[in-house]
Amino acid sequence: MILHGGQGTRLRPLTHTGPKQLIPVANKPISQYVLESLREAGIRDIAIVLGNIYPEKVKEFYGDGSGFGVKITYVYQGKPLGIAHAIGCCKDFVGDDPFVVHLGDDLIKGGIKKYVEKFKSSDYDGMILLCKVKNPQRFGVAEFDAEDRLVRLIEKPKEPPSEYALSGIYFFNPVIFQMIDQLKSSERGELEITEAIQHLLTNGNNVGYKFIEGWWKDTGTPEDILESNRLLLDELKHEMRGIIEAEASIQGRLFVGENTVIRSGAIIRGPVVIGKNTVVEGCVYIGPYTSIGNNVMIKRGEIENSILMDNCNIDIDSKITDSLIGPYSVITTSQISKPKGHRFVIGERSKIAI
């Protein structure tokens, strides 16, 4: 199951118009990486658990799953009452089978195939993936005894017992539903998955863990999304499907989609991905770790370490850096030279550094 709910408050205003899991990273929605990871692990029957932030956009994008090589069942959670609650909503979908839970906004290098195979060959009732992090107080954290056995999970502790965070990827047998039925809402008003797993441990069920090899990202903030974009672009394969005019300067790895035109005089330093039907004019500089969507027009300006989503129009005499630009955005330089100032139409909870 892919959990596609949550409020996405730290990503406003982008999440005023769609769920956070559909925000593109390296020109692909975050949850599409999750779906493809499940598919590559041999999992074809997938439940997508929908929240109350534009669930119709999720259904419109994924449909019945046939376009992605899977079969999708949609399960409605509605209000964000916790990961354990979302899993509980899928009890009928799961039946008597072991299953995988993957948060729709979590990314992991290399996918989960090897972890799925490990769980299938084990006698675990549950298995979790742990990753060493710098700020464990943001996550559920694992505690081990002197023999490195998992003994406790603590949700967002002020004093973490270890540096190992619980990732948003879980492997369970249906016994977990019995543990979820015993839960009461936490102070956050949620049914906590850490508490459900703790019930498994206390009850004597066999709970295993594996350390994630490579990187794992919880894409809950703009900074996390930009870092994920950099990590994925580091793996970019050079491919030109569009038109690169003779005097354009291309340095490093670049992916260019169909019907995209890079005009003479433009400078692009990869890794950079550019979608379909986009035009980059000749007086434009695009720097490393930038993702540009489909149907974008960039007439002037410099862009670096940023994500521009579909149907944007950029015409500036300055530089955009470290930014997330939502779809259909227009950014221009004012023709009025004096008095000089900055004009914004900015959504709730925005952060601006000038």
Same domain for 93 and 30: yes
Give SS3 for 345.
coil
- Asked whether the beta carbons of 165 and 245 are under 8 A apart, the reply is no
> 92: which residues sit within 8 A by CB, 6+ positions away?
none
Residue 350 has what pLDDT? 47
User: Backbone phi, then psi, for 185, in 5-degree steps?
Assistant: -60, 140
Q: Note down the domain range covering 11.
A: 2-233
The alpha carbon dihedral of 285, 291, 297, 303 has a sign of negative
Residues 228-281 have pLDDT tens digits of 999 999 999 999 999 999 999 999 999 999 999 999 999 999 999 999 999 999
Residue 335 has what pLDDT? 67
Residues 286-320 have pLDDT tens digits of 999 999 999 999 999 999 999 999 999 999 888 99
- Asked whether the beta carbons of 268 and 280 are under 8 A apart, the reply is yes
What is the average pLDDT score of the chain? 90
Residues 157-185 have pLDDT tens digits of 888 899 999 999 999 999 999 999 999 88
Domain of 24: which CATH number?
Answer: 3.90.550.10
Residue 338 maps to a domain: no
Residue 259 has what pLDDT? 97
Confidence of residue 354 (pLDDT cuts 50, 70, 90): very low
Give SS3 for 269.
strand
Residue 345 maps to a domain: no
Same domain for 50 and 15: yes
Same domain for 300 and 155: no
Residue with the two structure tokens 């944007």: 312
Residue 336 has what pLDDT? 57
Q: How far is Cα 9 from Cα 28, in angstroms, rounded to an integer? A: 21
Residue 348 has what pLDDT? 45
Residues 38-89 have pLDDT tens digits of 999 999 999 999 988 889 999 999 999 999 999 999 999 988 889 999 999 9
Strand order in the sheet with 239-240: 239-240, 254-256, 272-274, 290-292, 307-308, 324-325
Reading the block at residue 56, the tokens are 């119709």
Residue 76 maps to a domain: yes
Same domain for 174 and 36: yes
Q: Determine the Cα angle at 208 with ends 202 and 210, to 5°.
A: 140
> DSSP for 281-315?
EEEEEE-SSEEE-SS-EEEEEEEES-EE-TT-EEE
Please say if the pLDDT value at position 200 is more than 60: yes
Q: Determine the Cα angle at 293 with ends 350 and 32, to 5°.
A: 85
Residue 337 maps to a domain: no
The total domain count for the chain is 2
Residue 60 has what pLDDT? 96
Residue 170 maps to a domain: yes
Output 147 or 178, whichever has higher pLDDT: 178
Residue 308 maps to a domain: yes
Residue 280 maps to a domain: yes
> Please, is 274 exposed, middle or buried when counting C-beta atoms within 10 Å of its C-beta (0-12, 13-18, 19+)?
buried
